[in-house]
Amino acid sequence: MSWKLKTFDELTTRELYSILKERTEIFVVEQNCPYLEVDGKDLSSYHLYKEVDGEIAAYLRILPAGVSYQEASLGRVIVKKEYRGQGLAQELLRRGIDFTLNELKEDTIKIQGQHYLEKFYGSFGFQTISDVYMEDGIPHVDMLLEKEANG
């Protein structure tokens, strides 16, 4: 199992296909939520993922400031069903936060998290900055992590 971090242009077609397949499987099929999964933001994003036997086991995309929000952002956070409960989500978030704050030199990260994951994201220092709202039929909250608050 190895972690990889690539820009869009560094992804092979097989890697991109695997990433989009898993994101669609989870966000569209598993969550029964038809929406435009391929939204054009991948081109400007960094893609952090772990492969196991050629499959995407865990993934998130890192969006530089100005792509989704004024702040940098993390999104499309997934762990494939077979790999859940093994701590991959925690490691994935830690790596994404570390890269954003230390390599991209961003001071703030904004996310749009599903409401049921609010405590999970809060455990990394994210603070809720909105009321619960519906996005594609799923309750969400906006959350912010500020570098000085994260240490």
Q: Domain limits at 118?
A: 2-146
Q: Is residue 27 part of a domain?
A: yes
Is residue 151 a part of any domain in this protein?
no
Checking 132-137 for CB contacts under 8 A at 24+ apart, the result is: 136/33, 136/35, 137/33
The better pLDDT of the pair 62, 34 is held by 62
Asked if residue 78 belongs to a domain, the reply is: yes
The CATH number that applies at residue 134 is 3.40.630.30
Q: Is residue 38 very low, low, confident or very high in pLDDT (cuts 50, 70, 90)?
A: confident
In this predicted structure, what is the pLDDT of residue 150? 56
Give the containing element (helix H, strand E) for 139. Answer: strand 138-146
**Domains identified in the chain, total number:** 1
Q: For residue 84, what pLDDT is reported? A: 94
pLDDT higher than 60, residue 8: yes
Residue 23 lies in a domain: yes
71 near 108, Cβ under 8 Å?
Answer: yes
Q: What is the pLDDT of residues 86-120, one digit of tens each?
A: 999 999 999 999 999 999 999 999 999 999 999 99
Residue 53 lies in a domain: yes
pLDDT at 33 > cutoff 90: no
Is residue 137 over pLDDT 90?
no
Q: What is the rounded average pLDDT for all residues in the chain?
A: 92
Comparing CA positions, the residue from 120, 57, 63, 127 lying closest to residue 94 is 120
Q: Is the pTM of this model over 0.85?
A: yes
